[in-house]
Amino acid sequence: MPKVNDKVMHPFWVMVNKEVSDQVRSWKFIILAGLMILTCMGSLFTSITNLSKIVKPDTAGTHLFFLKLFTSSNGTLPPFHVFIAFIGPLIGISLGFDAINSEQNGRTLSRIMAQPIHRDFLINAKFTASLIVISVMFLALNLLVIGVGTLTTGIPPTFEAFVRILAFLILSIIYVAFWLNLSILFSVRFRQAATSALTCVAIWIFFSVFYQIIVKMIAAAIVPQPGTAPPQQIVSAEKLVLGISRIMPGQLFSDATTSILVPSVRSLGPLTAEQVYGAIPAPLPFGQSLLLVWPEVTGLIAATVICFAISYRLFMRREIRSR
């Protein structure tokens, strides 16, 4: 058994190390890493180009400037956080769609279960290893943006900007972890890896395209036109539509990251004239921004935990036979 500092490594971490090694050496990880680096550099280039045109040197020292590297764009490419919202699900799906069924199809699942280890070690190791790979990848990308942005602009991030970027990193990991657990769930449910992959991609496309069309149709049907109904009724209808749209994991991630990376955002929903009147036009402190996005963060965490709990239960109750 492998040893670390003359101590026997726990069997669970042996399995995690093995899974991390297999994923890092796989072609799908190399392709995903290359795609993430290209999109990161492309969005960073567009944000730096845009900031060089609109930001004056005497105003570039504000603590909000560095966050614009993650949110601004010149119109040719989306900003960095939009790329994460689009490519993140693909990363989670790619790392988890064949987590369990590949072991079964390769006739290695029964051999692993025959070893003197707990049965839940396998699915826990699969999730932990993939989460480690995702965390390291996103950490490297965020550090790349910070480093290139500092070298290019000559402005280091302030403490508050660094904390907000760290919060954005954690949100990105949680968002991708949801899609990872969803793909692991279908990997346990379906025997064929192609079936689980197509099911995950179909759900991602539904939430990315068709569900937005459904939300727009609902909004056109129930939201009154300005001047045709009382303002309270219009605000209530818009809040209902916003609540329906927040069923999408991508919408939760987008709302949370926008509030974290853009401190000037003071609300994630429609406001009445009474709420706007008297408000101080200043960026929110980090603590207030975190309170603003806490429901969205809680929703993402809850969805992630639910998917993992279902896949865990299905795997623990599954009958494994050697063939």
Distance in angstroms (rounded) separating the CA atoms of residues 221 and 219? 5
Sign of CA dihedral 173, 130, 77, 166: positive
Is the pLDDT assigned to residue 253 strictly greater than 60?
A: yes
Q: Would residue 2 count as lying in a domain?
A: no
Task: Report pLDDT digits (tens) over 42-60.
Answer: 888 888 777 766 554 444 4
Q: What is the pLDDT of residues 185-212, one digit of tens each?
A: 999 888 888 899 999 999 999 988 888 8
Report the residue count for the chain: 323
Question: Once rounded to an integer, what is the mean pLDDT over residues 245-261?
Answer: 87
Residue 228, domain member (yes or no): yes
**Quick check: is 135 in a domain?**
yes
- For the chain, the domain total comes to 1
Query: Is the pLDDT confidence value at 3 over 80?
Result: no
Expressed as residue numbers, the domain containing 169 is: 9-316
Model-level pTM?
Answer: 0.87
Does residue 89 fall inside a structural domain? Answer: yes
Mean pLDDT, to the nearest integer, of 204-221?
87
User: What span, in angstroms and rounded, lies between the C-alpha atoms of 33 and 35?
Assistant: 5
pLDDT the model gives residue 320 = 66
Structural domain includes residue 323: no
Does residue 131 lie within any of the structural domains? yes
User: Where are the alpha helices (H) located in 97-119, listed in sequence order?
Assistant: 101-105, 109-113
Q: Other C-beta atoms within 10 Å of 209: how many?
A: 9
> Where does the pLDDT of residue 174 fall: very low under 50, low under 70, confident under 90, or very high at 90 and above?
very high
In a domain, 26, yes or no: yes
pLDDT-derived band at 232 (thresholds 50, 70, 90) equals confident
Radius of gyration of the chain (CA): 23
Q: Quick one: CA dihedral 53, 59, 61, 63, positive or negative?
A: negative
Torsion angle of the four alpha carbons 299, 65, 158, 175, in this order, in degrees rounded to the nearest 10? 20
Task: Establish if 1 belongs to a structural domain.
Answer: no
